[in-house]
Chains A and B, each alone.
Chain A
Amino acid sequence: MNTFSSIAGGVFLLGGGFFIVVAAVGVLRLPDLYCRAHALGKAMTLGIISLLIAWGLLVPDVSWTKIGVAILFQFVTIPVASHLLCLVAYRKGVRRWSARGYIEEPGSADV
């Protein structure tokens, strides 16, 4: 392992951990279902992809093809799940947050 891949792997590892923690703070603190789904779908995907790239850079005997397949899988599944969650929640009429307070949909149901 040369110096460049070690340094780049460390940078990717720190970045991935940072973005996963940012996504967790968003899931913990944001006021609304849709905001939480946005935090999960974007920041969590970026963090887990950075961790996978760091794995490929730091460990010599792992194949980049499998890393690519895993990255593609994360890149497909997490945003699709987040989008599907927002779609079903919007059809069910879950309330939305705005700066003036919560917006209740007309056909609101207790889910």
Chain B
Amino acid sequence: MMSTELGYLIGWCLLTAVIGVGVWRIAKGPTVFDRLIGFDTAMIGVAGMIILFSISQQTGEHLELIIVITALGFFTTVAYFYYLSQPAGKIGERDNGGRS
């Protein structure tokens, strides 16, 4: 039983490191796409943390939470890419910036 708790502790540390990598990539990344990669990494780290918590508590009640978090991350990413893929003239701030 002692080795099981040690394994869970190592898993918590590794997933915290994964979320830390995501946050570091958000802070560091040269382009905005790198920041989105960091966002996805942190989101998947949170999903892995939920799975590890559910296994350690022997419960299956958080399965819908996995689906909801995945859908939230995916729709956030798709909406931001739709914003980025617009031509430069259509984005309001840049269109306004040159004239007044």
Contact = CB atoms under 8 A, between A and B. Distances in A.
Interface of A: 13, 16-17, 20-21, 23-25, 27-28, 33, 36-37, 40, 44, 47-48, 51-52, 54-55, 58-59, 61-63, 66-67, 69-70, 73-74, 77-78, 80-82, 84-85, 88-89, 91-92, 94, 111
Contacts of B38: 27
A62 B48 contact: no
Q: How large is the interface on B (under 10, 10 to 19, 20 to 34, 35 or more residues)?
A: 35 or more
- Determine the main DSSP class of A at the interface with B: helix
Given A21-B17, A21-B18, 11 more contacts: A13-B11, A13-B55, A24-B41, A33-B31, A36-B25, A54-B51, A55-B55, A58-B55, A62-B60, A81-B77, A94-B33
A78 B40 contact: yes
A65 B84 CA distance: 37
